[in-house]
Amino acid sequence: MHEFSVASALLKQVAELAVREGAERITQVRVSVGEFSGVEPELLRLAFEQLIPGSPADGAQVMIEPVSLQAGCRRCETTFAVASFRFQCPECGSPDVRIVQGEELILESVTLETEE
């Protein structure tokens, strides 16, 4: 499953960050998942649930935030939500649009706990 490799790559990133910051514990991990990123938020959550126990992020709270797909019209500059993958401007009908958000898969933030 694709989501497993995504989750394990993210966890590796988180673990490296924790080592670099000299953190004692990883308490929270936030990930933004675009609707058009090819990753299913629910499957990603399940993958994290299975991969986290025993990893450096053991006990961390994982928050997965879906990001809706939005496009912008190149002709009239209107920004609109894309429904049913219909890439056409609702204002002027132009099919010349670009994706503004929804393709991303981002590690938004990691909360670490450092021993004083």
List contacts with Zn ion (CB under 5 A). Answer: 73, 75-76, 78, 89, 91-92, 94
The least distance separating Zn ion from the CB of residue 96, rounded to whole angstroms, comes to: 8
70 or 94: CB nearest Zn ion = 94
The least distance separating Zn ion from the CB of residue 50, rounded to whole angstroms, comes to: 44
Write out the E strands in 1-116: 25-34, 61-67, 70-73, 79-81, 97-101, 105-113
The least distance separating Zn ion from the CB of residue 97, rounded to whole angstroms, comes to: 8
63 or 92: CB nearest Zn ion = 92
19 and 97 in contact (C-beta within 8 Å)? no
| Residue 57, Ramachandran bin (φ over 0: left; ψ between -120 and 50: alpha; else beta) | alpha
Task: Write the DSSP symbol of residue 110.
Answer: E
The least distance separating Zn ion from the CB of residue 67, rounded to whole angstroms, comes to: 22
48 or 80: CB nearest Zn ion = 80
26 or 73: CB nearest Zn ion = 73
In 3D space, the residue among 27, 16, 34 whose CA is nearest the CA of residue 61 turns out to be 27
